[in-house]
Structure 1
Amino acid sequence: MAAAVIQTCHVACSANRTPHVVSWSRGGTIAFGTCNSVALYDPQERRVVCTLNGHTLRVNAVRWVHREDCAPESHLISGGSDCRLLVWAAQNGKFVQWMECKGHTGPVCAVDARYTHTDAHILVASAASDSTVRLWLCDAKQAECLHTLSFGSGFMMDVSLALLPGTKVPVLACGGDDSRVHLYVQSCEQKLQRVMTLQGHEDWVRGVAWASVGGDLLLASCSQDCLIRVWRLCAKSGKGARNAAEEDDDGVIKMKEDIFQVQEEERDVSSVFAVSLETILAGHENRVYGVHWQPPSYTGGQLQQPLRLLSASMDKTMILWAPEEGSGVWVEQVRVGEVGGNTLGFYGCQMSPDGAQILAHAFHGALHLWCKDQKEDGEWRPGVVISGHFNAVQDLSWDPEGEFILSVGSDQTTRLFTPWRRRDSKQATWHEISRPQIHGYDMQCLAMVGRFRFVSGADEKVLRVFQAPRNFVENFANISGRSKEELLASSDCVGLPEGASTPALGLSNKAVFQGDLSSGARGDQQQLNSVSEQYQESYFQPINMNEPPPEDHLLQNTLWPEVQKLYGHGFEMYCLASDSARTAVASACKASKAEHASVLLWSATTWRQLQALACHALTVTQMAFSPDSLLLLAVSRDRTWSLWRRRDLASGAHPHPHRRAHTHHLVM
C-alpha cells in the first residue's frame, strides 16, 4: 500500500504588527513575519510557498540580502522578540537556518544586510530594544559581532547599510527616537565610527533607506512628524564645506554641505565626503512609518536606479514620489490607500522589482497590494493578496458541502475562505472572500448550521446567529465556479437580504434589503452634513466580484446579517457544536461552579432553549455530535467526560424539552 502524501494546500496568515516585518526580493518572493514564523509568499501563484520556523517569539524584522547583480536572493535575515537574529540560506531549493547571531538582550526591531566580498560573507546590522545597534560578520563558520553601539536610554528604530561612493567602506544609517539620523562608517579596526548626525526631523525617525544614484548615495528618512527628508551623500574633491545655503561659481544656490573624512585601508588613502539635504517631502497627514526605493535593474547591460520613492503612513495612504523631468522638483506621482473604514493606517511598504506593484502592511496585519494596469491608462488598482487572522485562531468549521471554511479568532473577526477557480489557471487557490462578523469581543467558537448559516460565541454571554446575504451567495458562486441560480434556489437562500451593515457604536450586524439601498443613497448627503458624522454606520454597498475582494471591501461590504441572539449562559462563551441533521446546537460557557457548567441545547429552527444538560463541575471545553446526530459527547476541565443520547429522534421538533435527552455519563 502506497504511503499517503500530505501537502500544504493553503496558509491563511497576516503580517505582524511591526514596521519592518515585510521584504520583497528581487526574485519576486515576499517574506513577512507572521507570529513566530517567516512566511514566503509568491504573489504570482498567490500562495505561501513555505514557512520558516526558528524563532520562539514574535518575528519583528525581515530583510532579504540583495545581490549586486539583481539575481534572486539566496539569504534572508530575521529578528524577533526572542532576542535572536537568524540567517536563512537557500539549499536545494529550500531555505534552512544557516546562522544565528547571539548577543542582543532585548527584542530585535530592525535589520539590514549586504554582501561584503563574496556571497559567503554577509555584513549584518541590527537594532534592538536593549538600546544597542550591533554589526555582525557572518560566514560559513560563525557569526561574529564586530562592534556594538550603545545609545543609553535611547532607541534606534531602523538601520540601513550601503557602501560609500567609489569605495568598499560600509556606511550605516540609524534613525532614532532622538529625531536624528546618525551616520557611521566601518573603520580599519572593523568597528563603527560616527561621522555625522543629520538633524531636521521633529519627532522619532521611523525609517531610513539608502539608494545609489549616479555615483552618489541618496538617503530617505521618514518620521512621526509626517515628513520625509532625502539626503545626498557624495564624494568631494578639493572643495570645502558650505556653512550655509550660498551661491557657487556658476551663481546656482545650493544647500549647506557637511563634510567628513574616511581613511580607506585597502588603498591607504583618505577620502572626503559631503552630505546635504536634497528635498523635503510633505504630503502625509499622519506619522510616516516606512520608505522604500524602487529596486535597481539592469537596462542595456548597465545597472540603473530609478528615482522613485514609496512611503507609507498611518493616514492610510501610500505615496509614490519622483522628481519632475524638467525642474527636478520632487512631486507626488501616485497616492493609493483607504478612505474611511476602521483600520489604523500602514506600518510599512515595499515595491516589486519592476516597480509595477506596491505593497503595504497595515496596523491589523492585512497586506494591501496595488498593481499598475499596463494595458489601459496606467491606473493603479487593488490586487488579490493573501490575508488571515492577526491573532490566535480559536475555532473553525467546514461548510457541510466542504466548499469553504469559517474561522474565528482573538482578533475579533469571523472569516470565510474558499478556493478561487480562475479561468486562466487550472489550479485553484484559497482566499478570504468574506468577513461575516467584525465584533467588539474576542471570538472563541462557532458552529455551522446548514449551508449558509452559523452560530458564533465570543467573550460575552450571548450567542449570535448569522445568515448569509444574497450578495455573498452571488459572489461566492462567481468565485467558486458554482451555479448562481442553483445556490439561490436552495432552501437556505430564500428571502435573503442584500447585505448587512454595522450600526454606529453597535455590535449587531443589521440586515440591508433592496429597498434600503435606494433610501440609503438618498440619505447619504444628509448623513454627511450631520453633526454626528464621525459616528456613522459602516453602510453596505453591493459589489459584483469575480475575484477575491481587497481589504477595504472585506471590512465593509461582506458582513452577514445577524438573525438571532441566544441568551442563557452566565459567563463568556467557550465552545459550540451542531448536529448533522441541522436540528440542534449545543453550547457551553466558562464555569467555576456546577451551576454554570451546564450544556445548553438549542433548536436550530425556532432558536428556543430545549434543555440544560447538567453534569460537569467546571468548564466544558469541547463537544461533538455523532454523525447520526443521536449522541453528544462533552469533555470538561473537571477531568470527566459525558455521553448523552437523544431519546426520541423520530418525533421531530420535540415540543417538550424535558423529553429531549437523558444522560448516560461515564466518569474516568
Structure 2
Amino acid sequence: MRILSASMDKTVILWAPDEESGVWLEQVRVGEVGGNTLGFFDCQFSPDGSMIVAHAFHGALHLWKQAALNKKEWTPEVVISGHFNSVEDVKWDPQGEFIISVSSDQTTRVFAPWKRKHETEVTWHEIARPQIHGYDMRCLAMVGRFQFVSGADEKVLRVFRAPRNFVENFSNITGVPVGELCYQQSSDLPEGAIVPALGLSNKAVFEGDVAPQPADEEENFNSISNQYPEISFQPLILTEPPPEDHLLQNTLWPEVQKLYGHGYEIVCVACNNANTIIASACKASKKEHAAIILWSTESWKKLQSLTFHNLTVTQLAFSPNDQLLLAVSRDRNWSLWKEQDSSESGPVFSCCAYTDKTTAVHSRIIWSCDWTPDSKYFVTGSRDKKVLVWGRCEWGAGGAMPAPRPCSAPLEAGDAVTAVAVGRAPLPLGRYIVAVGLESGTIHLLTWKQSGQEPAATDWSKCVQMDDSRGHALAVKRLCWRPRQGRAGHEDHEGSEWLQLASCGADHCVKIFNVNRCAL
C-alpha cells in the first residue's frame, strides 16, 4: 500500500495511507536540490521496495536506498551517469588518470575510475561537472593536468582550473595520493566555484567564503541575506563518486580566463605538449574568419593569427615534439605550420607545407587528423571515406623540410571518416596503431607500417572492427588514446600489454575500450 510519484517540481514523493483516517499522506520526499534542472520524468521501486530509481529531465538516473533502522530515511546511492545529447569531444588528462568530455547538452564532465575497497572490479563514474554552460559545447583541450580550455557555440574560449575540493575528492575516489596531484600550493587553491545569480562565469570560492550551515531554519529564513545566499557551494569529502545532487551544485571549476578574438562559433582548440600555446579556430565561410589564433597560456594574450584556409578549420593538432602545428579544413586541404625562433611576444609560426587544388588527395571535407608519437607522420580522415598517412616530417640540411607526401595508399573505410587517432604506445616491428571512427558509428583498429618507397595498400592491416554493440549508434565524434600504457585505475606498469581508447559520439555516449596491444 504505497505509491511513488515523480514530478517536474524536482521531487519524488512516497505516499501511504494514514492508519487511522485512511487518507493518503506524504511519507518521504526526495529529489534534486539546486542546479538548472527541470525535474523528473519517471520513477520506480526496486522489487523489494527498499530502493527508488528516478529518471531526470537532464538524462541523469537517481537512486535512493532506504536506511535499515529508520524507514523514513532514504540516502542517495552511486549510479552511472552521462551526457544527454551529442558528445562532441573527449580528452585524457596528461597522466591518463581521468577523461573530460564536452557535449551539446551544454555541460563539461569529468569521468574517472572507482575501485571499491576489498574489490578488484574498477568502474568508471562521473566525478565532477566543471562547466554548466548556456551554449552547446564543441571542443576542449587540456592545459596541464588540472586545467582545460573549452569552446562552445559562442565566440569566446573559457579557461578553467580545478579547485582544491576536486583534487582531494579525486584522490579519495581513485586512490591516487594527493602528493602526486598538487600542481600548486594547496593553500592558494580556491575551495570550489559557484555561478553568481546575475553572472555567467564560474566564480571561485575560497575557504573563508564558504557559508556555514545554519542551525535555526526559522531564523535563517527571516534574514534577507539568508533567503538569497550568495554562496551555495558546500564542500564535501567524498570517498565514492558523488550523487547527481552534488554534481549539479558543488563540482564546478572556477573560470580563470576568457579569450576573445574569434568572430563566430568556436569549432576546435588544441594545446601543445609543453602547455605554453593554445591554438583555436571558429566557423568560417571566408578566409579572414578561417584564421587560426594562437594564445599564450602564461599571459592569456593573443600571439599570432595564421591565415591560409578558405573555410572552417575542423581540427588542430600539435606534433608531439611541438615543432609543428597541423590544421585540416572543410576546404579539403591541410596546412602545416613550423615554429620559428621565439620573439619577445612568444613563438611565431609560419606555413611550411600545405595541399591545394593540384596536390590535394581528399575530395571532401577533412574531418580529423592526428600525429604519430615520433612526429614523423600524420594521419587525415575525410568525408570521402579515405584515411591517409602523410610524411616524412623530418628536417634536412639548413633546417628545410621536404613537403610531406602520401606515405600510404588511401584506406577505404567504407563510410565517411569522422575521427582518427594514433596510439602513443609502440608496437612491434615499427608499426603504428590507428583508430578510425566512422559516421555510421563503427570503429576500426588498424596498424600501418611503411614497407617500401611507394605507398601500398598492403601497408595497412585491419586488426579489429567494433561490432554494433561495442561501437556507437551514431557518428563517432572523437577518438583519443590514453597517453601512456596500462589501464586507468589498475596498477599497470609502463610495459603493460594494455592500451585504452576513449571515444565519444552523437549517440550521447562516452566509451572506453581496453585494447590488448600484444594481440594486434
Pairs aligned (count): 354
Taking a change above 3 Å as real, the CA distance of residues 330 and 532 of structure 1, as seen in their structure-2 partners, is closer
- Distance in 2 of aligned mates of 1:435 and 1:353: 32
Of 333, 340, 344, the match for 1:655: 344
Partner of 1:85: none
Q: Residue 502 of structure 1 contacts residue 538 of structure 1 at CA under 8 Å; is this kept in 2?
A: no
Q: Which TM-score applies when normalising by structure 1?
A: 0.50
Q: 1:530: Cα distance to partner?
A: 4.0
Give the letter aligned to residue 330 of structure 1: W
Matched ranges for 1:82-481 at <5 A: 307-325=1-19, 327-374=21-68, 379-481=73-175
Taking a change above 3 Å as real, the CA distance of residues 563 and 519 of structure 1, as seen in their structure-2 partners, is farther
Q: Does 1:555 align with 2:243?
A: no
Q: Residue 397 of structure 1 contacts residue 405 of structure 1 at CA under 8 Å; is this kept in 2?
A: yes
* Secondary structure at 1:596 match in 2: coil
Give the letter aligned to residue 600 of structure 1: I
Task: Give 1 or 2: higher strand fraction.
Answer: 1
- Distance in 1 of aligned mates of 2:21 and 2:275: 70
Q: 1:634: Cα distance to partner?
A: 0.4
Q: Does 1:598 align with 2:263?
A: no
Taking a change above 3 Å as real, the CA distance of residues 601 and 483 of structure 1, as seen in their structure-2 partners, is same
Q: 1:389: Cα distance to partner?
A: 0.8
Partner of 2:391: none
Q: 1:593: Cα distance to partner?
A: 0.8
Give the letter aligned to residue 349 of structure 2: A
For the aligned residues, what is the CA RMSD?
A: 2.5
Q: 1:533: Cα distance to partner?
A: 5.8
Taking a change above 3 Å as real, the CA distance of residues 665 and 537 of structure 1, as seen in their structure-2 partners, is farther
- Distance in 1 of aligned mates of 2:143 and 2:185: 10
Q: 1:531: Cα distance to partner?
A: 9.5
Give the letter aligned to residue 352 of structure 1: S
Listed one character per residue, the Cα deviations across residues 491-524 of structure 1 (whole Å, up to 9, x for unaligned) are 48672111101011321000111121259989x9
Taking a change above 3 Å as real, the CA distance of residues 594 and 493 of structure 1, as seen in their structure-2 partners, is farther
Q: 1:545: Cα distance to partner?
A: 0.7
- Distance in 2 of aligned mates of 1:417 and 1:323: 42
* Secondary structure at 1:554 match in 2: helix
Q: 1:485: Cα distance to partner?
A: 3.3
Q: 1:655: Cα distance to partner?
A: 2.0
Matched ranges for 1:10-49 at <5 A: none
Partner of 1:239: none
Q: Residue 540 of structure 1 contacts residue 557 of structure 1 at CA under 8 Å; is this kept in 2?
A: yes
- Distance in 1 of aligned mates of 2:17 and 2:221: 41
Q: 1:532: Cα distance to partner?
A: 11
- Distance in 2 of aligned mates of 1:492 and 1:419: 26
Give the letter aligned to residue 512 of structure 1: V
Taking a change above 3 Å as real, the CA distance of residues 492 and 573 of structure 1, as seen in their structure-2 partners, is farther
- Distance in 2 of aligned mates of 1:351 and 1:479: 28
Taking a change above 3 Å as real, the CA distance of residues 538 and 351 of structure 1, as seen in their structure-2 partners, is farther
Listed one character per residue, the Cα deviations across residues 2-48 of structure 1 (whole Å, up to 9, x for unaligned) are xxxxxxxxxxxxxxxxxxxxxxxxxxxxxxxxxxxxxxxxxxxxxxx
Partner of 1:631: 324
* Secondary structure at 1:664 match in 2: strand
Q: 1:313: Cα distance to partner?
A: 1.0
Q: Residue 450 of structure 1 contacts residue 492 of structure 1 at CA under 8 Å; is this kept in 2?
A: no
- Distance in 1 of aligned mates of 2:2 and 2:348: 70
Structure 1, gaps ≥5 residues long: 1-306
Q: Residue 511 of structure 1 contacts residue 561 of structure 1 at CA under 8 Å; is this kept in 2?
A: yes
- Distance in 1 of aligned mates of 2:191 and 2:180: 17
Q: Residue 115 of structure 2 contacts residue 123 of structure 2 at CA under 8 Å; is this kept in 1?
A: yes
- Distance in 1 of aligned mates of 2:223 and 2:174: 41
Q: Does 1:509 align with 2:202?
A: yes
Listed one character per residue, the Cα deviations across residues 627-662 of structure 1 (whole Å, up to 9, x for unaligned) are 1111111011111110111123xx6xx4245x6111
Higher mean alpha-carbon deviation, 330-339 vs 511-520, is at 511-520
Greater RCO (Cα-Cα under 8 Å, separation 6 or more): 2
Partner of 1:487: 181
Taking a change above 3 Å as real, the CA distance of residues 642 and 503 of structure 1, as seen in their structure-2 partners, is same
Give the letter aligned to residue 666 of structure 1: Y
Q: Which TM-score applies when normalising by structure 2?
A: 0.64
Give the letter aligned to residue 57 of structure 2: F
- Distance in 2 of aligned mates of 1:453 and 1:552: 24
- Distance in 1 of aligned mates of 2:327 and 2:100: 22
* Secondary structure at 2:247 match in 1: helix
Q: Residue 138 of structure 2 contacts residue 268 of structure 2 at CA under 8 Å; is this kept in 1?
A: yes
- Distance in 1 of aligned mates of 2:105 and 2:112: 20
Q: 1:528: Cα distance to partner?
A: 7.1
Give the letter aligned to residue 288 of structure 2: E
Structure number with larger C-alpha Rg: 1
Taking a change above 3 Å as real, the CA distance of residues 641 and 532 of structure 1, as seen in their structure-2 partners, is farther
- Distance in 1 of aligned mates of 2:133 and 2:184: 28
